[in-house]
Structure 1
Amino acid sequence: MEKTFEWRHGQLSVQALGGMIGPVEFKLPNGRRVSPFQVAPWGEDDRRTELPGILQRLRGEWPCVPFGTDALRELPENWPAVGVDKNFATDPHGFSANHNWQFDQVSSDMISMSIRYPDEHPIEMLRRTITPDPTAPALDFELEVIVREACDLSFGLHPTFKVLGRPGDMRIDAKHYDFVHSFPGDVEPGAALFAPNQTFEKLENAAGRNGQQIDASQLPLPEECEDLLQIVGINGEVGLEYTAEKYAVNLNWQKEHFGSLLLWYSNKGRKAYPWNGRHQALGMEPICGAFDLGPSQSKAGNPISESGTPTTMRFKPGIPFKTKYRIAAAPL
């Protein structure tokens, strides 16, 4: 099921599966219409039902509670070995990212949705509202988390954008952060680009696996890859400039809730179905977590939490948690 409506400054589509938005068309002040969110090319394939729910009609933006997936992994020595919680080892990025949400209210000025988790799960339900700004090409979001029992969880948001053009046609504009950490392993075997488990002072000075220096703020990347970088201690804002197309997308969130920004570089590096070497997108994902390694790894001591940036949030029964964020488009 999908709901679509227009407002003065654009058009918005929201699907029940995963509560994902997309496509979204923003109308800029100069009259141009732009569609920055990615929509995966396999969304109507007959084979898509073989995939986890999160991948079947992958698109746009959605919440991840918890963020990541528990699994047994071989990680470097400074990443402690942890167990696996059965509640967090099945659905990639949480139950809500893989199942249908209910549309609670659809009006001319907002959409509200909710999803209930299984009875045995520590999370009871999520509520989500999406409100187009009546005065600007922008969307305002609110996410509410209600739990049955006290729990420490990784959690995050998953805005995912198109990657277009030639290297240098796009730029990530991230300011005021502590450092950048590379993934402590291989996101996809044989498709990594960045030197693993390293810290860099600047996104523009990332180290590559072959000893090269990479400006990870410039897109598309010059090599096919599937990789992650975590910007740690970021101040709650980031921009993505489509320099060749002369517009930008700006993302703002509550930095006290999400102290990191995970960058997912999907640059034709995955070759198996459904990716088939054709998927190009950038995830700019505000998170409270250690990469997408799941809540058990995020709860354990890890290099990111030990640096002073939390990787789990404490949720308490009877005290609903709410966070707000905003995605806006603007001419450059």
Structure 2
Amino acid sequence: MTTRRALAWAHGCLSVQSLGGMFGPVLFLLPDGRQVSPLHVAPWGNDPKRGTLPEILQELRGEWPCVPFGSDAERSLPAGWSATGESFDGAGVPHGHSSNVQWIWGDCDDRQITMECHYPEDHPIRLLRRHIMPDSKAAAVDLTLEIEGRRPCRLPIGLHPTFRLSPRPGSVVIEPGSYDWVWSFPGDVEPGAALFALNRRWSSLKSVETRDGAAHDAAQVPLVEDTEDLLQLSGIDGSLALHYRDEGFRARLSWQKEHFPSLLLWYSNRGRKAYPWDARHVALGVEPIASAFDLGPAISTGANALASSGIATAIAFEPDQTFTTHYRLSVEAAPMG
């Protein structure tokens, strides 16, 4: 059964749930007194039918870690992509064991929330530990993820912040830090719902080619088109902001670029028609990763176009070492329009 913990501080309040270790929603108080809540909560969270869904979807919300990131599955991919890397029993679980089970609460007080997720005995990962701590002096939350391996392995990993979007198309502007390339997915994320040209790369998010050959500004969301698609920004400097122009604020995400050298943008824009998406789901995933899209361990640790270009698409873990990474979500007032 999913349980929740909440925490309030001078600049806001937040909630964390045991299922998936998901953080959100969070309400921030801006200096001018306005309240803003940038993280997404899926609209089917109280639907009695949600129990038929994979666990990761049942109460989908906010941000959570994915270890491993993505999942292994049968896919048809172009040249330069193959499932020749490391795999294991359980590699087909969507976004890893921790995204689909109840986490155990650790120390929780008026300053922080901690939780743990223990992996199955035959899994290469032993444990995840999560610390969520508001900044007492700012409208910001600092998060820490610790990963303990059970045996030597290489895995794609990622963080999965998902942001709500204002209703008007183009009302939110994606403002990434510096990056090298924008890569498009080497297939269809959702059959019949692709927008961006297949298996390509460009130098700017503001000019990305669509499948019909038109130039598209992918930095302005929500999109007009009904689509479900992915773009990966490689060589990114560990920062991104979302400017909510109709609401007059920015949400900022920062992370350690040496751990997550790419950022995956998940455009969920009414493209999925089946339950629970029902052609109504609109959100933006802003996901720091060491992974080849969400293609799972066998592809991310094997032959793929990103790794061939020098982009790290997996992280090495050892049983006697704890991998620790820090990241931060904050908000600030910004101009309207």
Question: Residues 25 and 40 of structure 2 are in contact (CA less than 8 Å); yes or no, is this contact kept in structure 1?
Answer: yes
Which one of the candidate residues 217, 221, 240 is aligned to 1:219? 221
- Counterpart of 2:101? 99
- Counterpart of 1:330? 332
Give secondary structure in 2 for the equivalent of 1:185.
coil
Which one of the candidate residues 154, 157, 161 is aligned to 2:156? 154
- Counterpart of 1:195? 197
The CA distance in 2 between the partners of 1:101 and 1:81, in whole Å, is: 30
> What TM-score does the superposition give when structure 2 sets the normalisation length?
0.97
Question: Residues 182 and 202 of structure 2 are in contact (CA less than 8 Å); yes or no, is this contact kept in structure 1?
Answer: yes
Percent identity between matched residues is: 53
Shift of residue 168 of structure 1? 2.0
Higher deviation after alignment, 164-173 or 57-66? 164-173
The CA distance in 1 between the partners of 2:85 and 2:150, in whole Å, is: 22
Question: Residues 86 and 301 of structure 2 are in contact (CA less than 8 Å); yes or no, is this contact kept in structure 1?
Answer: no
* Structure 1 unaligned blocks of 5 or more: none
Residues 19-74 of structure 1, C-alpha deviation per residue, up to 9 Å, x if partnerless? 00111100011110001100001111111111111100000000000000011211
Q: Which amino acid aligns with 1:228?
A: L
Shift of residue 81 of structure 1? 4.2
Question: Residues 86 and 302 of structure 2 are in contact (CA less than 8 Å); yes or no, is this contact kept in structure 1?
Answer: no
Question: Residues 88 and 294 of structure 1 are in contact (CA less than 8 Å); yes or no, is this contact kept in structure 2?
Answer: no
- Counterpart of 2:176? 174
Give secondary structure in 2 for the equivalent of 1:193.
coil
Shift of residue 249 of structure 1? 0.5
Q: Which amino acid aligns with 1:121?
A: H
Residues 146-173 of structure 1, C-alpha deviation per residue, up to 9 Å, x if partnerless? 0110000000000000011222211000
- Counterpart of 2:289? 287
Which one of the candidate residues 37, 52, 55 is aligned to 1:50? 52
Residues 244-293 of structure 1, C-alpha deviation per residue, up to 9 Å, x if partnerless? 11101100000000000000000011010000011100000000000000
* Structure 2 unaligned blocks of 5 or more: none
- Counterpart of 2:76? 74
Question: Residues 177 and 238 of structure 2 are in contact (CA less than 8 Å); yes or no, is this contact kept in structure 1?
Answer: no
Question: Residues 70 and 96 of structure 2 are in contact (CA less than 8 Å); yes or no, is this contact kept in structure 1?
Answer: yes
The CA distance in 2 between the partners of 1:60 and 1:66, in whole Å, is: 18
> What TM-score does the superposition give when structure 1 sets the normalisation length?
0.98
Shift of residue 84 of structure 1? 7.8
Cα–Cα, structure 1 residues 49 and 83, in superposed 2: closer, same or farther, change >3 Å?
farther
- Counterpart of 1:18? 20
